[in-house]
Amino acid sequence: MERPHLRSEWREGLRSRRWRLWAALLLLVLLLLAVLVFLAAEYEESRDQAALEQDAAAVASDIRGNLVRNVQTLQSLHSVAPTADSWDGPAAELLVQHRELVRLEWRDAQQRLIAHRDTPFLSDLFGYLDRDQALPEVSLACDNARRLSGPAYSSSYFWPLRDGKGLEMMEMCLPVARAGSPSGFLVATYSLPGMLAELTNKDLLRGRGLAFNEADGTRLALYSVVPGSRRTFTARTVLDLPGHTLLLQLQSPRLVRGLFPNVLTAVIGALSLALLSVLFLLGRDIRRRQRAELDVAEALAFRKAMEDSLVTGLRARDMQGRITYVNPAFCDMVGLSAEQLVGTGLPAPWWPPELVDEYQQRQMVRLAGQVLPREGYESVFQRPDGTRFPVLIIEAPLIDAVGKQTGFMSAILDLTEQRRVEDLNRTSQERLQATARLATVGEMASLLSHELNQPLAAISSYASGTLNLLEQPAGHAAEVGQVQADLVQAMQRIGEQAERAGRVIKSVADFVRRREQVREAVTPQSLIDAIQPLLGLQAKKQGIRLQIHIAPGCPPVLCDRTMVEQVLLNLARNGVQAMPVGDPSPHSGLRVLRVDVGQDRLHSGEAPGGQPQKAWVAFSVTDHGLGLSAEVQAKLFTPFFTTRAEGMGLGLSLCRTVIEQHGGALTHEPAQPRGTVFRFTLPVAPA
């Protein structure tokens, strides 16, 4: 009777054990399903978060790209509107097209206001507070722009409006230049809400929240919020601008997706590969651990070799100032071993005795939590033998893996060799300056010798003519009167040429010293009249006919009269000397020197935008000599190069320099049927 009872108990025990196994298996499956559902949800959330971060980066890139395009637009505004009167209209049109801009200002190099224009969409922007309250931000942005030679942004600030409202704004300063020289700054005031509304992709932001925040989470400007009260994803990205950094925050609602299709597929695959995966993962984990240990050992050996090979001293200290690490370069620098240095505190053994108190006080200030200078600081170290040397110390906080500061890390550079090189450079610079001054003196002497030949030759000619008139026998009264008139004219010419020699000396001296020369409005006729007596006399001696043509209505030019007259005289004299007497060639009858003056049509008129361009007057001197060979043309404007035995080779070099200082250009081309045409341009004097 006991066996059936025992058998039933055994069955019940087996059945209970089987149910326990099934229950354990079911529990394992349920646990696996729960884990897989959780992992799938986490994966979807991480994927959504990654996509949101990519969208945030795209929004920041859009804002940054639109700001760059705005800079290009503002640069074009200054080029098409060179004056304050013409600047106002294009600035107003630009403000209408770019609603993120609330104000445009044109300021000079000293940041004084030249012209400004406010946005038409905010009628009373500066009615509550005066614009002068924002000048510190403008000054900071313009100082950074001058230093960067490009656009710079100020930090954002809150600007109160009437009725308790306000607006978060930011200044952008852009250096502007005209003709290669600075002409002030263009200041653009941005509205942070306007930047979010106008500089972003609206389709990308549909149903999402966008805002500018501070680093601590304080909201600066808001464009949109996530509708409803659902849980949201948040992505933050940095909008790094020259001079300022903003934190862009993008929020998106969590999307509800179906879980079972993906999860059931993952469960079937996981159940079928569970056993093999465990063994595979275990073996792979062992191999990875061995590989990781080997990589760590190699990394430590590499770091040790790198630190030992550095010429820069490295020193680590704890928060109490005790040394915890030094590299061999630092030990060689101070003349002490690592065992002598590690564990030592303040005062340091390499401090000079008389500077211990000063260094001690400076070190206590740093250990107290003061901000460390990024550029480092200089100090003086002393070795055990008493040798002193300058060093540059760059310190930074030493942060551990959990973000806690455990001390300070210092990099020390020995400046001994740098100081020696600086002394050598300073000595060489002084010698070069002395040599440059001597070269300038020689250049001025050569230029004076070259340019004074013409007025002195003219004085000599007039003096010889005067002596010839005085040596003639006295005749009738009419002849005596004519002789007196000729003598008076000759003496006047001598005085004019002597005055001209003085002006040449002054102009050449100013030219060599690179001083600003006095320029005035001069008619082309007066320039030609000043040199025509000398030029006519020399042309008459050579048997050359002089032709001068000045276009009717030719405007005055803005120039240094003396230097431009000298340029005309040099070019005409070269043309006369290029046509030798007794030329046996078939073209010997072409002994004509022609001087033409007219307005240069290629440089006048109007720009495509309707703005007037700078007008020029062209002067040309045409001779019919033998022309210029290719070898001579290559060296034509080289100083001290000449084809004449008595020449100095400074005339054409000086002429081109004078014309280029006036903003023009000196060119040459072959004349027909032979000869050379020299042409230069001068700017038209303003009305």
What is the number of residues in the chain?
A: 687
> What is the spatial distance between Cα 280 and Cα 283, in angstroms, rounded to a whole number?
5
Distances (CA, A) of 328 to 311, 376, 387, 390: 9, 21, 19, 19
For 310-414, which CATH superfamily applies?
PAS domain (3.30.450.20)
- Strands of the sheet containing 676-683, edge to edge, are 545-550, 592-599, 616-623, 676-683, 666-670
**pLDDT, tens digit, for every residue of 167-185?**
889 999 999 877 677 778 8
Tokens of 474: 């006295």
Q: Which fold has domain 61-253?
A: Beta-Lactamase (3.30.450)
pLDDT for the residue 681? 92
Domain boundaries 518-687, CATH class: alpha beta
Asked if domains 423-516 and 518-687 share a fold, the reply is no
The average pLDDT across 131-136 equals 83
- Residue whose token pair is 């361009």: 613
Indicate the pTM of the whole model.
0.38
- Going by pLDDT thresholds of 50, 70 and 90, the confidence category of residue 508 is low
For residue 291, pLDDT beyond 50: yes
- Going by pLDDT thresholds of 50, 70 and 90, the confidence category of residue 340 is confident
Distances (CA, A) of 242 to 67, 138, 140: 11, 14, 12
- Burial call 544-559: b when 16+ CB within 10 Å, e when fewer: bebebebeeebbbbbb
> What is the spatial distance between Cα 100 and Cα 102, in angstroms, rounded to a whole number?
6
pLDDT for the residue 24? 65
The average pLDDT across 296-312 equals 76
> What is the spatial distance between Cα 676 and Cα 572, in angstroms, rounded to a whole number?
11
- Residue whose token pair is 């200030």: 365
- Going by pLDDT thresholds of 50, 70 and 90, the confidence category of residue 607 is very low
Would you give the end-to-end CA distance of the chain in angstroms? 138
CB 95 within 8 A of CB 105: no
For residue 265, pLDDT beyond 60: no
**pLDDT, tens digit, for every residue of 237-259?**
888 888 888 888 888 887 655 54
CB 250 within 8 A of CB 208: yes
- Residue whose token pair is 């308790």: 164
**Quick one: how far is CA 645 from the chain centroid?**
49
pLDDT for the residue 151? 92
> What is the spatial distance between Cα 473 and Cα 479, in angstroms, rounded to a whole number?
10
pLDDT for the residue 509? 59
Enumerate the domain spans of the chain.
61-253, 310-414, 423-516, 518-687
For residue 190, pLDDT beyond 80: yes
Phi, psi (deg, nearest 5) at residue 41: -65, -40
For residue 586, pLDDT beyond 50: no
For residue 588, pLDDT beyond 90: no
Distances (CA, A) of 167 to 95, 163, 170, 191, 373: 17, 12, 10, 7, 35
> What is the spatial distance between Cα 349 and Cα 345, in angstroms, rounded to a whole number?
9
Domain boundaries 423-516, CATH class: mainly alpha
Burial class (CB in 10 A: 0-12, 13-18, 19+), 646: exposed
User: Dihedral of CA 110/115/120/122: which sign?
Assistant: positive
453-471 helix and 477-513 helix, angle to the nearest 10 degrees: 170
For residue 585, pLDDT beyond 50: no
- Asked if residue 673 has a cis previous peptide bond (ω within 30° of 0), the answer is yes
pLDDT for the residue 618? 92
416-451 helix and 651-661 helix, angle to the nearest 10 degrees: 110
> What is the spatial distance between Cα 152 and Cα 138, in angstroms, rounded to a whole number?
10
**pLDDT, tens digit, for every residue of 378-417?**
788 878 888 888 888 887 777 877 888 877 778 887 778 8
Reduce the DSSP state of residue 5 to 3 states and report it: helix
Identity of the highest mean pLDDT range in 29-33, 60-64, 501-505, 572-576? 60-64
What percentage of the chain carries pLDDT values higher than 70?
71
pLDDT for the residue 619? 92
Identity of the highest mean pLDDT range in 15-24, 141-150, 453-462? 141-150
Burial class (CB in 10 A: 0-12, 13-18, 19+), 300: exposed
Which stretch of 50-64, 313-327, 390-404, 478-492 has the lowest confidence by average pLDDT?
A: 478-492
Tokens of 70: 């705005």
Bigger pLDDT: 338 vs 675 = 675
Residues β-bridged to residue 313: 412
The average pLDDT across 356-364 equals 76
Bigger pLDDT: 430 vs 564 = 564
Reduce the DSSP state of residue 122 to 3 states and report it: coil
